[in-house]
Amino acid sequence: MCNSIFQVDVIIPTQTKYLDLIGSIGEHIAKDLDNFSGDREALAYHLNLVLTEATTNAIKHANNDPRDTVRITIHIQDNELNIKVYDHGQGFDLETVPLPDFDQPKEGGMGIFFIRTLMDSVTYTKQCDCNVLEIIKYL
């Protein structure tokens, strides 16, 4: 895969059965990257995980319309891997999502922690008709 410019743009129904597909795309991209000297297997797992968590989040925050969709784009240019996940729900405040309590672990709240820990930048912004979770990883 040539890393000069690469883009994937996928739209899925808000159903968790598509998580495997979305995660697998990230895994394949990591395995096919040119000029990547890091731990390729780890990157493959991390992209799978981050895409899975971000898409799960978008599905959870989707509106109740069964025709609602989640759009995921993955763009690579100049060693910057950029993931955007678009949802049409009410949105949430990323800044108020707490870190997990490692001494008294709870079942939820680890998804955003994974994304923040494994990637280099995470933002969540409201646009005119959707919200966008933007994740950047420098390769």
Partner 1 sequence: MKLNLEKINGCNVIFIQEERIDAHNSGELKEYILHMIEQGDVNIIVQLESVRFIDSSGLGALLSGYKNAAAKSGKLALACCKQQVLSMFELTRLNRVFEIYTDLNEAFENEA
How many residues lie near partner 1 (CB under 8 A)? 26
Cβ proximity to partner 1: between 98 and 105 the closer is 105
List the strands of the sheet with 80-87, edge to edge. 5-13, 69-77, 80-87, 131-138, 121-126
Return left, alpha or beta for 78; rule: phi > 0 is left, psi -120 to 50 is alpha, else beta. Answer: left
Among 47, 59, 76, 81, binds partner 1 (CB under 8 A): 59
94 binds partner 1 (CB under 8 A): no
d(CA 28, CA 43): 10
- Single out the residue of 49, 97, 130, 132 in contact with partner 1 (rule: CB under 8 A): 49
Q: Which residues bind partner 1 (CB under 8 A)?
A: 16-17, 19-20, 23, 41-42, 45, 48-49, 52-53, 56, 59, 100, 102, 105-111, 113-114, 117
